Amino acid sequence: MTVQVVTGNHAAGYALSAAGEANRTARGAACGIYPITPQTEIVEYVARFPFSKARIVPVESEHSAMAVSIGASLAGARAFTASSSNGLAYMTENVMVAGYYRLPIVMVAVNRTLGPPWNIWADQGDTLMLRDFAWLQFYCESNQEVLDTTLLAFRLAEDRRILLPVLTCMDAFIVSHTQTETTLPEQALVDSYLPDLQLPHRLRYDEARTIGGMVWPHEDLSQRLEIDEAMKRVPDVYQECRQSFRDVFGRDPGDVIQTDGTDDADTVLVATGTMATTAREVVRKRRAAGEKIGLIKIKMFRPFPAAAIREACGSARRVAVLDRNYAAGSGGVFWQDTRAAFQGHRNDVLIQNYLTGLCGEDVTPSVIDQILADLASREVAGDPVWMGIETGKETLQ
Amino acid sequence: MNATAPLQKSDSCLLRPGNTNCGGCGMSVGLTMLGRALAEANDSCSLVIPACCGIVTAGAFPTTSYGVPTIAATFASSPAVASGYASVRDLNDEPGQVICWAGDGGTYDIGLATLSGAAERNENIIYICYDNEIYGNTGGQRSSATPIGARTTTTPTGKSEAKKNIMAIMTAHGIPYAATLSMAHPEDFSRKLATALSMTGMRFLLMHSPCPTGWKSEPEDTVELVRIAVASGLFPVYEVFDGARYRVTVEPDGSDPAEYFHRQRRFKDEDIDLDATRRSCVDRIHRLRMLAREYPV
């Protein structure tokens, strides 16, 4: 293993390429690629990688990038791509197809604000828009986590008990363009972690099957139920993939939720991505000063780890959910699902939503402090609160 | 009609009996001709079909009317899905053609950018458009392949714009082979299929495909209609190699196109300018003859 100072995009490109190369002893790798800021460096990395058995197709749109990957996956190759923001919006129809065709495609997404107006900075609204499409979703906070989770994603997606595509997400620029020390595993290790892909339902040239034609309602329903069953198997299979990862690479790719100080906390912050990094610093500092606060970082968003989150909250009575996204007319997406996780289980927890860091705003330690102060002052939960907005304050209030 | 029935390499039954396609459907004849051409060439294929009558033809799971591996692609995606699928075939040195089978909506309209991308990359696929000049599967709306004057559910008083020249667009990509197909000339049709099967790279075939349901024509007139279309110059039958070398493969005999319109109730006399149509037929064939003379095969 070599430790290099690389960007999050480099780490993602490395992981996708190494996974594709690892399938050279089977049916190879193939995918469609298309540029969009801030993920372009990922597909550039893939395009210049010296694969032994692969075809990288530089297509004319994101919609076709996913379509090429779908065709390649149906033919039994390892397939992947990367995108961001409006690119994901344009790709959406075929994103849905990959899920319903049960194809183990891995996509890295760099979370960028959806336009208009045009804004290249971090916001999770793009991938959360795809939340209901039979894809697994992981949110990462560091370059190493991006690399490790992307490799793990292939193993998980291709497991016969799962056979669903996986989306690995990182915050625009804060991760994608920031260089940090990252351990890049040798190809031989990736080869041993990712066995040859044997897609059981791949199409064979000498077998007359029709994939994706018309079905009657009950047939379609049974396919949806199978997806639900596969989703329910994810938490256990994830732990197996995580253990294998530790065995092969000697590193922990991280649990589906990660906690700090929640055991005795009466106040818990729930955060994702790089917001969790900042929140963790605040939590550790304030715990050292004697405050009983904790942090839950949600790494896996689909399937949603409701029971794990509920359990991790322990006896805490106040929960602040930080959302770097806004579902217009409702609130933050992580808040919606976190609140639903408690429904019918506990009604003594005050769960308040804070919309922060949207459209690329920074979530600084002082923003976290403001959130904690607001939470402490509340008797009951209210509507989602916009927090840490430096501009347009007058119109927001 | 089991969905997983083993496929004989020389299976001429690409479109199986028992499908529910309309009587007089041009697309069904095209599929049968394609199956025969593959059998004669001792070749096989996989089909990639976007939203269109072609995928409805398969019927409902778990049965299928297709005797070959078939993928349903989203409306705009068949050339891209085929690009990925054919890439993996080539990576693994496997036999068989990858053929997109698409209607005019998926070709001229929603899938045009995808088709252009695949053509520009010279993907190793065959793309066949069965052009029935209408969104037939949804009940007959106009597409950019609908001819001027035709009444559809979205052009109730007749379409005011001319049909898009998709062959000019595709040949402009400089692809190895582009040709038009008429089932009124089955020898020519079969020869062009054989030519396409013998080549590699992007091959585009455009088939004039009557839809009695949408055209409001009699099913037994299907072949006669496309025969008149060729004879009059409404639908010239030709082929283009590398986007540069032209050959008119069936010469029009100067027949009057009026009969073509009279036999279809999608056309009303008051919506059709026959003199302008006659002039455009002469123009169209003159242009092609000139290209074939100046840039012969």
**Cα dihedral angle (A195, A201, A205, A210), rounded to 10 degrees?**
-160
User: A205, B72: Cβ pair inside 8 Å?
Assistant: no
Domains of chain A: 2-249 (3.40.50.970), 257-396 (3.40.50.920)
Q: Average the pLDDT over B177-203 and give the result.
A: 98
Is a pLDDT exceeding 80 seen at residue B9?
no
Q: Is residue B221 part of a domain?
A: yes
Q: Is the pLDDT of residue B55 over 90?
A: yes
Q: Assess whether pLDDT exceeds 50 at residue B1.
A: no
Contact A69 B84 (CB under 8 A): yes
User: Is residue A47 exposed (0-12), middle (13-18) or buried (19+ Cβ within 10 Å)?
Assistant: middle
Whether omega before A117 lies within 30 degrees of 0, making that bond cis, reads yes
SS3 A68: helix
Structural domain contains residue B9: no
Nearest residue of B to residue A79 by CA position?
B84
Tell me the residues of chain B between 96 and 115 that have a Cβ less than 8 Å away from chain A. Answer: 96, 113-114
| DSSP run (H or E) holding A80 | strand A80-84
Nearest residue in chain B measured CA to CA from A51? B91
DSSP string, A224-246: HHHHHHHHHHHHHHHHHHHHHHH
Q: Are B78 and B111 in contact (CB under 8 A)?
A: yes
Q: Which residues on neighbouring strands pair with residue A302, listed in sequence order? A: A137
Distance separating alpha carbons of residues B53 and B75, to the nearest angstrom: 12
- Nearest Cβ partner of B55 from A70, A76, A213? A213
Which residue, chain included where needed, has tokens 């990288």?
Answer: A56
Q: Tokens 């002039």 correspond to what residue? A: B279
The answer to whether the Cβ–Cβ distance between A209 and B48 falls below 8 Å is no
Q: Is residue B19 in a domain?
A: no
Q: Which two tokens stand for residue A372?
A: 């904690």
User: Which residues of chain A have a CB within 8 Å of the CB of B119?
Assistant: none
| Strand (E) or helix (H) holding A295 | strand A293-298
User: Could you report the predicted ipTM of this complex, rounded to two decimals?
Assistant: 0.96
Whether residue B218 has pLDDT greater than 60:
yes
Q: Which of A53, A75, A93 minimises the CB distance to B74?
A: A93
Question: Tokens at residue A279, please?
Answer: 């929140």
Closest in B68, B73, B113 to A208, CB measured:
B68
**Residue A330 has which token pair?**
């409702």
DSSP-assigned states of every residue in chain B? -BTT-B--TT---SB-TT--PPTT-HHHHHHHHHHHHHHHTT--EEEEE-SSHHHHTT-BTTB-SBSS-EEE--TTTHHHHHHHHHHHHHHTT--SEEEEEEEHIIIIITTHHHHHHHHHTT-S-EEEEEE-SSBTTTT-B--TTSPTT--BTTBTT---SPPP-HHHHHHTTT-SEEEEE-TTSHHHHHHHHHHHHH--S-EEEEEE---HHHHT--GGGHHHHHHHHHHHTSS-EEEEETTTEEEEEE------THHHHHT-TTS-GGG--HHHHHHHHHHHHHHHHHHHHHSB-
Instruction: Test B114 with A63 for CB contact under 8 angstroms.
Output: yes
Question: Phi, psi (5° rounding) for residue B206?
Answer: -115, 120
CA distance A325 to chain B (A): 29
Half-sphere exposure of A224 (CA within 13 A, CB side): 10
- pLDDT per position as a tens digit, B248-265: 999 999 999 999 999 999
Name the nearest CA neighbour of B181 among B127, B137, B261: B127
CA distances from A8 to A14, A174, B12, B79 (A): 10, 9, 53, 32
> Cβ–Cβ of B91/A206 closer than 8 Å?
no
Phi then psi for residue A249, to 5 deg, are: -100, -10
Tell whether A99 lies on the interface with B, counting CB pairs under 8 A.
no
Q: How far apart are CA B93 and CA B83, in angstroms?
A: 15
Write down the pLDDT at residue A390: 63
Q: Is B77 on the interface with A (CB under 8 A)?
A: yes
Q: Contact at 8 Å (CB) between A31 and A56?
A: yes
CB contact under 8 A, A71 and B59: no
Distance from CA of B49 to the nearest CA of A (A): 10
Is A216 in CB contact (< 8 Å) with chain B? yes
Q: What is the pLDDT along chain A (397 residues), one digit of tens a residue?
A: 799 999 999 999 999 999 999 999 999 999 999 999 999 999 999 999 999 999 999 999 999 999 999 999 999 999 999 999 999 999 999 999 999 999 999 999 999 999 999 999 999 999 999 999 999 999 999 999 999 999 999 999 999 999 999 999 999 999 999 999 999 999 999 999 999 999 999 999 989 999 999 999 999 999 999 999 999 999 999 999 999 999 999 999 999 999 999 999 999 999 999 999 999 999 999 999 999 999 999 999 999 999 999 999 999 999 999 999 999 999 999 999 999 999 999 999 999 999 999 999 999 999 999 999 999 999 999 999 999 876 544 444 4
B25 CB-side CA count, 13 A: 18
Say if B12 falls within a structural domain: no
CA distances to B132, B153, B266 from B52, rounded to whole Å, are: 11, 17, 20
* Tokens coding B118: 């695949």
The residues, any chain, with a CB within 8 Å of residue A102's CB and separated by 6 or more, are A134, A163, A164, A201, A227, A230
Domain count, chain B: 1
Neighbour count for residue B251 (Cβ, 10 Å): 13
* B86-131 pLDDT, tens digit each: 999 999 999 999 999 999 999 999 999 999 999 999 999 999 999 9
Residue B3 domain-assigned (yes or no): no
Contact B64 A210 (CB under 8 A): yes
The residue behind tokens 């006399």 is B269
Q: Within a 10 A sphere around the Cβ of A392, how many other Cβ atoms?
A: 9
Average pLDDT over residues B185-201: 98
Segment (H or E) for A371 = helix A365-376
Domain hosting residue B123, numbered range: 26-294
DSSP annotation string for A298-354: E-EEES--HHHHHHHTTT--EEEEEES--BTTTB-HHHHHHHHHHTTT-SS-EEEEE
* pLDDT at position B144 over 50: yes
Among chain B residues, the shortest Cα distance to A60 is held by B117
Report the percent of chain B where pLDDT is more than 90.
93
Report if residue B20 sits inside a domain. Answer: no
Query: A74, B89: Cβ pair inside 8 Å?
Result: no
Tokens of A335: 């808040």
Number of residues written out for chain A: 397
In a domain, B10, yes or no: no
Domain with residue B106: its CATH number is 3.40.50.970
Distance from CA of A203 to the nearest CA of B (A): 7
Minimum-distance CB partner of B117 among A59, A93, A209:
A59
Q: Does residue B158 come out as left (phi exceeding 0), alpha (psi in the -120 to 50 range) or beta?
A: left
* Chain A interface test: which of B91, B93, B116, B120 (most A C-beta within 10 Å): B91
The verdict on a CB contact (< 8 Å) between B121 and A57 is: yes
Chain B positions in Cβ-Cβ contact with residue A65 (cut-off 8 Å): 80
Chain A interface, best mutation among B87, B110, B115, B120, by max A CB count within 10 A: B87
Assign residue B199 a region (left: φ > 0; alpha: ψ between -120 and 50; beta: otherwise).
Answer: beta
The residue-averaged pLDDT of B51-66 equals: 94
Query: Does the CB of B256 have a partner CB in chain A at under 8 Å?
Result: no
Longest dimension (CA), chain B: 58
| CB spacing of A68 vs B3 below 8 angstroms | no
Angle between helices A8-22 and A143-158 (to 10 degrees): 30
What pLDDT band is residue B145 in, cutting at 50, 70 and 90?
very high
